[in-house]
Structure 1
Amino acid sequence: MTIALPSPRLVGFHKDGQRRYGLVNGDGVVDLSARFGARWPTLSRVLADGALSRLVDEAAGLPADLALDGLSFDLPVTDADKYICVGVNFPDRNEEYKDGQAAPSNPSLFVRFSSSFTGHTAPLIRPPESHQLDYEGEIVIVIGKPGRRIAERDALSHIAGLSLANEGTLRDWVRHAKFNVTQGKNFDRSGSLGPWFVPFTSEAQIADIALETRVNGELRQSDRTSRMIFSFRKIIAYISTFATLLPGDVILTGTPTGAGARFDPPIWLKPGDVIEVSADGLGTLTNPVADEVI
């Protein structure tokens, strides 16, 4: 799949022990934290002020401060109030359950903690408690305008930008209890977000995104957002019914069929594996796998 990268692209990164954000400029990064941090210390603050376009315009002509190659990537949004994940949002994923049930009328949701994610190029961590680490490539939407009980017709106006996720899961731990998956979805650094934050421009940008996941170069997942059971509009409207969405909130919108758990026998991720999640206009989120060092 050819990944066309639009401009602008914003990125979170680490420098001198601090979390920072910047604007990609060719092969470099403009350090926006250094230049605008007094006004907007984080990207979420930029979004809360409705200043994303202004910031990008002001930074567009600035020279890069850092090389993109070798950058220590962080999450695109580091201080989200909520990380909300949608489960079973593609037709083939619903059929994988083999329970004879039609797709539900409302999305299945769960939450993740920020500590369960790492950035682009950083390793996904396999904990000693389980070797059933699995991948899930997903499209991410980031909220820019706050809202409660948002109508579907207005939902897209609340999106600030897009990114990618590898919603890594410890499969045996999601089955430890009767009603929830929280444990298996929240091991430290078991998932990833990135590589960029791409500003949202129009519905055409998200209407039919091709999404793919590869493991060691082998295509494992492939689908398009036009086939999602629950649209971006529906997801935002539904979540905002019970929770006020805030600038910087991150929503993971569901993964296609093809995760390692669905093979016979299952194929779990192991140290040395490399996972690539790619999507039209959003680039490629790449992470190796490593065992946790205790």
Structure 2
Amino acid sequence: MRYATVTTDQGRQYGIVTDAGFIALSPDYPQWETLTDVIRAGALKDLAQAAMGRAVTHETGQFTYDIPLPDPGKIICVGVNFPDRNAEYKDGQEAPPNPSLFIRFPQSFVGHGQNLVRPPETPQLDYEGEIAVVIGTGGRRIPADRAYDHIAAITLCNEGTLRDWVRHAKFNVTQGKNWDRSGAMGPWLVPFTHPAQLDDIRLTTHVNGELRQDDRTSRMIFSIPRQIAYISTFTTLAPGDIIVTGTPTGAGARFDPPRFLEPGDEVQVSAEGIGTLVNGVEDEA
């Protein structure tokens, strides 16, 4: 089942994506304004049951994708979480004892099929393909061996970054990670039901058809259960919170010379069992 938020002639709606198109379900559930509300109510299964036997309400081409959760809670991102990515910073550097974290704001993301926006202040727009998990059951100090019980769904993220702006200060990267419409999330949410959906799946990023990033979740320095356990130690995780779990090596900044994104480029982030997130690039008007 693929849950999505889209824009149609009737405005923003949520529902189910099929091979034939989109089944709008939000008109049937006025008590839940967005998919975030559905997750907070623990009602993804209700949507799945409601979609059974229904015809599409909007054929492909009659809607555009928004980010799956237009009003998420916290968006917490994990940095430097693959061995080869860690090695980029210093030859022989050991992995840190705890994950590096930063936050992103919802307006820094666009949906599947929309263009990332390169601002006039810098040409250094870069890509980072990642898997994101959506919290379904909240908690504090969640044990790692129970962490999967707290995930409602998974999706994809292109954690677009303005590289020179992450180095404007000494200890933070927030300003390089939060330019409006610089990243993407989607296309949809896939319900999380089994550890095999995350334990060892392939994650790739292609730019203009060229493979740039390629790794597996089993190689993460900090596994997704470890991330949930660590983050929930200092902040209560709530339904609708999103954790963006880290990108492999191969971002444009690491080429010599760097290969930053330019208008007309196309970025595809794919993961087994989730799908493919596709975005173009344009300059800010």
TM-score (normalizing by structure 1): 0.94
| 2-structure distance, mates of 1:142, 1:65 | 26
Q: How many residues align?
A: 285
Say yes or no: does 1:10 pair with 2:3.
Answer: yes
| 2-structure distance, mates of 1:26, 1:132 | 36
| 1-structure distance, mates of 2:52, 2:98 | 41
| 1-structure distance, mates of 2:154, 2:108 | 19
| 2-structure distance, mates of 1:11, 1:255 | 23
The aligned counterpart of 1:19 is 12
Report matched runs for 1:118-157 at 5 Å: 118-157=110-149
| 2-structure distance, mates of 1:218, 1:92 | 19
| Corresponding residue SS for 1:172 | helix
What is the deviation of 1:70? 4.7
Question: Structure 1 residue aligned with 2:212, among 190, 208, 220?
Answer: 220
What is the deviation of 1:35? 2.0
Q: Contact 1:147/1:246 (CA < 8 Å) preserved in 2?
A: yes
Amino acid at match of 1:49: A
The aligned counterpart of 1:182 is 174
Q: Which moved more, 1:246-255 or 1:16-25?
A: 16-25
What is the deviation of 1:16? 4.1
| 2-structure distance, mates of 1:256, 1:9 | 25
Which segments of 5 or more consecutive residues in structure 2 lack a partner in the other structure?
none
Report matched runs for 1:76-95 at 5 Å: 76-95=68-87
Q: Contact 1:133/1:171 (CA < 8 Å) preserved in 2?
A: yes
Say yes or no: does 1:28 pair with 2:21.
Answer: yes
What is the deviation of 1:140? 0.7
Q: 1:32-63 deviations in whole A, cap 9, x for unaligned?
A: 11222x13221111111111112211222221
Q: 1:79-116 deviations in whole A, cap 9, x for unaligned?
A: 11111100000000000101542101111000000010
| 1-structure distance, mates of 2:195, 2:91 | 34
The aligned counterpart of 1:53 is 45
Aligned residues: percent identity? 61
| Corresponding residue SS for 2:37 | helix
Q: Which moved more, 1:198-207 or 1:41-50?
A: 41-50
Q: Contact 2:15/2:47 (CA < 8 Å) preserved in 1?
A: no
The aligned counterpart of 1:63 is 55
TM-score (normalizing by structure 2): 0.97
Report matched runs for 1:102-251 at 5 Å: 102-251=94-243
